[in-house]
Amino acid sequence: MSLQGEIREIAGELPLSHNAQVVLKKRYLKKDETGATTEAAPDMFRRVADTIAAIDRLYDPQTDVAATAQKFYDLMATLKFMPNSPTLMNAGRELGQLSACFVLPVDDNIESIFEAVKQTALIHKSGGGTGFSFSHIRPANDPVLSTKGVASGPISFMNIFDVATETIKQGGTRRGANMGILRVDHPDIEAFITCKNDTKRLTNFNISVGLTDAFMEAVKEDRDFSLTNPRTGREVQKVSAARLFDLIVQSAWSTGEPGIIFLDALNRGNTVPNLGEIEATNPCGEQPLMPYESCNLGSLNLAQVVHSGKIDYPALGEMVRDAVHFLDNVIDANRFPLDIIREKTLETRKIGLGVMGFADMLLKLNIPYNSEEAVEVAEKVAAFIQQEARQASAALADQRGNFPAYSGSKFDNNGQGRMRNATTTTIAPTGTISIISGCSSGVEPLFAVSFVRRVLEGTELIEVHPYFEELAKNRGFYTPELMQSIAGTGSIRDCKEIPQDVRRLFVTAHEVSPQWHLRLQAAWQKYTDNAVSKTVNFPRQATPDDVREAYLMAFDLGLKGVTIYRDGSREEQVLSFGAAKAKLQYITPRPRPERTTGVTELISTGCGKLYVTVNQDNLGFCEVFAQMGKTGGCASSQIESTGRLISLALRSGVKIDAIIKQITGIRCPSSNWTNGSQVLSCPDAIAKVLAHVAEVDPPAPTMATMGSCPDCGGSIEHEGGCLVCRSCGFSRCS
């Protein structure tokens, strides 16, 4: 059967887009030992619904499980709600691990550290992601009394976790993800802040600095700040808080990391402070958890509740109640990777109901994302969801009892009386589940109005946002040529042939100022139990001072954390928006000259040292040779072929700057930093040498560039500290 035929069978009668079907086939549906798909999308939703609904019998043997299963099936099959990926993948299957988020403790001894490494491996194998605070580990060069030696510090141990993660493939579908947090008052904090400036290090970690209110006040007042040895509790050094803060800002401006977590804000929102302080979160930062806790997440599709330009709150309320019931059942259906995780999870029964399709909701309401109206909608919808979720949790508590740690919790102290779940709401990055649901990601704005989707055999298709395409046709400015030209940048901001009100409505992430990103994040955070995962986008030309102001604004707004991304900072990306192709003209290259002169340059790549020779004759540049320091293998043959093809192009009259433009930004899994510039691959390295030799400026990406997916080469979006490909469903995060 052809792929297209198999894709059609996957959808059944469900309203799934082509991309959704591709993602389901590749990453979610059951397969046999030959890799052939053995279930369709309706089968998957039925498998999940039946497994989760069966839990009702634990609490009421006479309950109508079939009716609950049908309710859960309808919730997913109509794309109104999706649980997190492990639940879709594993419910009703042998693995049975259904949670996405875990936090493990790391104490200041070898036994604890390597026990955490082992536990991390088990969690990643089961499909989860892990968060850690490394703040308890003594600093580098601190005495180790048992050996009379000195400690290597928390960063050295993070490398061990990173290698373990790299080794384990999660259930054959996803590679593990980690969040590493270090308190800002740890003596190794400066080394931690800059540890990912070398992009070859800690590739399986997101990192965030745990900032305290005391530190932020010291920054504002330009005071010194104490660093404290966690082993002794004693101050070891005073540093300028402003200088340390600027180091965080500079690193985030350069590479997008570290993120920042406001620890005191996390603990102000901690509903069970009687169990201790929160020190860590899951990999994308939206789920603060105690040691050994896990949390299962799910998201409501807000695009589904706008009808005739109005929000259908009764329909949304019903979705919330059904989703809370579903997520509470997931806790009992879960096969936890460790007994202690089961114990701690059942103690608080945290769930995280979030949203996706918020940008689509605003479009249906005719409200621009960067507007006061959008902030008002966010607050009103978030407050409604939180209220309904807590009421649903209270109703479950009437039937099933409070969460065991209820006594002494904030709900108990506030006289709430009953609550099934210690937390109910979380705004998570929705990644692949928003692709399945055919809606925008989380609470992010649109990333592009139109983009190029790469399919089989190099074919490129223009993907246009369906609301924009419908509006363009209704208002008479739709043309295929216009849609293709928009795919060149992803933006319609400068398209004069499109009415101004439409351009104002369809703003993209790179057109939304950091201040509006933060205000929308704060609007959702105001009524969210846990935290909000969101990327604050900056244009390429933003300065470190712009990032500094955003961080201060985030603190003043009461956010629990911030992830920023300055366009082009983390990678000089392959352009993912297509341009019109010129007609072919067949040219015979001139013969190789007898005598040439040239230069050889050495440039370091992620694969090793690359020697690039560029030769010319009396007619100009004519030849390029490239050789890796280590010989042999597939890489060397590809490097040789790249040089030959460039030489052929040069002798065919192709301008060298055109060649540079074509191969600049090509990515491979191993990038490298050389002389302050990121080298993304061997072709990218050759482009840099050509630009230097020819004395031309390398091309800068256009406004709305995105990274290249390592699986399919398609567009990568930055969402809440995660990388997601909407073409094939690749996600860097659990």
| 329 in catalytic set | no
In the DSSP assignment, the letter for residue 93 is S
Active-site pick, 257, 279, 286, 463: 286
| 284 in catalytic set | yes
Q: Are 714 and 728 in contact (CB under 8 A)?
A: yes
Q: Are 322 and 246 in contact (CB under 8 A)?
A: no
Distance between CA atoms of 386 and 354, rounded to whole angstroms? 10
Active-site pick, 178, 204, 270, 282: 282
Give the contacts of 439 (CB within 8 A, at least 6 positions apart): 79, 301, 302, 303, 356, 357, 360
Distance between CA atoms of 555 and 262, rounded to whole angstroms? 8
Q: How far is CA 711 from each of CA 164, 203, 707, 730, rounded to the nearest angstrom?
A: 22, 17, 12, 7
Instruction: Indicate the residue type of 229.
Output: N
Beta-strand ranges (E) seen in 409-464 are 450-454, 460-464
3-state secondary structure of 575: coil
Number of separate helices (H) and strands (E) present in the chain: 26, 30
**Nearest residue to 90 (alpha-carbon basis) of 167, 211, 172:** 172
Q: How far is CA 183 from the centre of its chain?
A: 23
Strands ordered across the beta sheet of 715-719: 707-708, 715-719, 722-725
Q: Strand 101-103 relative to strand 129-133: parallel, antiparallel, unpaired? A: parallel
Backbone angles phi, psi at 296, to 5 degrees: -105, 140
| 286 in catalytic set | yes
In the DSSP assignment, the letter for residue 601 is E
Tell me: cis bond preceding 514? Omega within 30 of 0 counts.
Answer: no
Which H helix or E strand runs over 708? strand 707-708
3-state secondary structure of 684: helix
Distance between CA atoms of 348 and 330, rounded to whole angstroms? 14
**Nearest residue to 352 (alpha-carbon basis) of 413, 415, 429, 414:** 429
Active-site pick, 101, 195, 284, 712: 284
Q: Note the residue count of the chain.
A: 734
In the DSSP assignment, the letter for residue 532 is B
Residue with tokens 């019998």: 57
**If you write DSSP's letter for every residue of 111-152 in order, what string do you get?**
HHHHHHHHHHHHHHHHT-EEEEE-TTSPPTT-EETTTTEE--
Q: Strand 561-566 relative to strand 535-538: parallel, antiparallel, unpaired? A: parallel
Residue with tokens 């500079």: 250
**Cβ-count burial of 638 within 10 angstroms (0-12 exposed, 13-18 middle, 19+ buried)?**
middle
Q: Are 28 and 89 in contact (CB under 8 A)?
A: yes
Q: Are 84 and 52 in contact (CB under 8 A)?
A: no
Tell me: cis bond preceding 258? Omega within 30 of 0 counts.
Answer: yes
The shares of helix, strand and coil residues in the chain, as percent rounded to the nearest 5, are: 40, 20, 40
Distance between CA atoms of 131 and 54, rounded to whole angstroms? 31
What's the first-to-final CA gap in the chain, in angstroms? 32
In the DSSP assignment, the letter for residue 369 is S
**Cβ-count burial of 501 within 10 angstroms (0-12 exposed, 13-18 middle, 19+ buried)?**
exposed
**Nearest residue to 702 (alpha-carbon basis) of 567, 581, 580:** 567
Distance between CA atoms of 485 and 505, rounded to whole angstroms? 19
Distance between CA atoms of 716 and 725, rounded to whole angstroms? 5
**Positions marked active-site:** 282, 284, 286
